[in-house]
Amino acid sequence: MSDSNENRIFQPSEKAEKKNLYIEALKKSLFVFILLGIMFFLPSWSLRYWEAWLYIGTFMIMMNIFLIYLVNKDPDLLKRRLKRKEKREPQKWIITVANVILLLMYLFPSIDNRFNWSKVPTWTIFVADFILIGSYGLFIWILHTNRYASHTVEVEKGTQKLITTGPYAIVRHPMYFAVAIMYGITPLALGSWWGLLGIILFIPLLILRILDEEKMLIEELEGYEEYMKKTKYRVIPGIF
């Protein structure tokens, strides 16, 4: 059978798969948009919450650019990112508690906005949104470097390779650095000082997740223990 005939045979299934990924990406984007709207405008009881509109617009633009890129250029990575179910027991409860804390980190600024508990300068809000864009850009660079980076803590045995280049040459878990910045700057982008209190609870959970993940990586990912000796810090050089 000629190559052209083979292409004609496989092309429809590839198109169908890409179409399904587009649909899944669209569902994800729509869900996030609706969820953010509910969390921001319902507690604040106002649609005149311009900080929230700016945050949603910034976040959704970055997210959709990323999703469109993955659908067209790296659908396998998108499939990994769409997986949500954790298999490791410690990770299950860590994620559950973390989600509750993140929910509070989103809700509290909205309540703050309603009752005017704190006032963040306008320039600080815009700077926070620019930092949000930068952290999302870092997030994209990390995923471009490590195509095995999924939402869940797991190792794809037999196929996954140890990544030591790019941001992974600086720290062992750059993804968590990007995520910490992304979520940590959110309260300021939403115009709330009080919302920053959630970070105090979020960071210890992030550390627990990293420590448990490293136990698994030592056991299941070839070369990781040696990599730990060369790249000493997990998230922030000189600190952790």
Rounded to two decimals, the pTM is: 0.86
Q: What is the pLDDT of residues 136-168, one digit of tens each?
A: 999 989 988 998 877 788 888 778 889 999 999
Closest CA to 40 of 101, 104, 106: 106
The full set of domain ranges for the chain reads: 3-230
- The tokens for 225 are 């223990």
CB atoms within 10 A of CB 85: 9
Task: Report whether 60 contacts 32 (CB < 8 A).
Answer: yes
Distances (CA, A) of 117 to 42, 54, 64, 100, 185: 17, 20, 33, 22, 18
- Mean per-residue pLDDT, 188-213: 93
Task: Report whether 183 contacts 102 (CB < 8 A).
Answer: yes
Q: What's the pLDDT at 228? A: 96
Residue 154 CA to residue 147 CA, distance in Å, equals: 13
Give the mean pLDDT of the chain.
88
CB atoms within 10 A of CB 78: 21
- Domain 3-230, CATH: 1.20.120.1630
- Exposure letters 141-150 (e unless 16+ CB within 10 A, then b): ebbbbbebbb
Residue 53 CA to residue 51 CA, distance in Å, equals: 6
Task: Report whether 206 contacts 147 (CB < 8 A).
Answer: no
Range in 116-120, 122-126, 148-152, 173-177 the model is least confident about: 148-152
- The tokens for 130 are 């620019």
Q: What is the pLDDT of residues 12-71, one digit of tens each?
A: 566 777 778 888 888 888 999 999 999 999 999 999 999 999 999 999 999 888 888 888
Closest CA to 44 of 101, 95, 117: 117
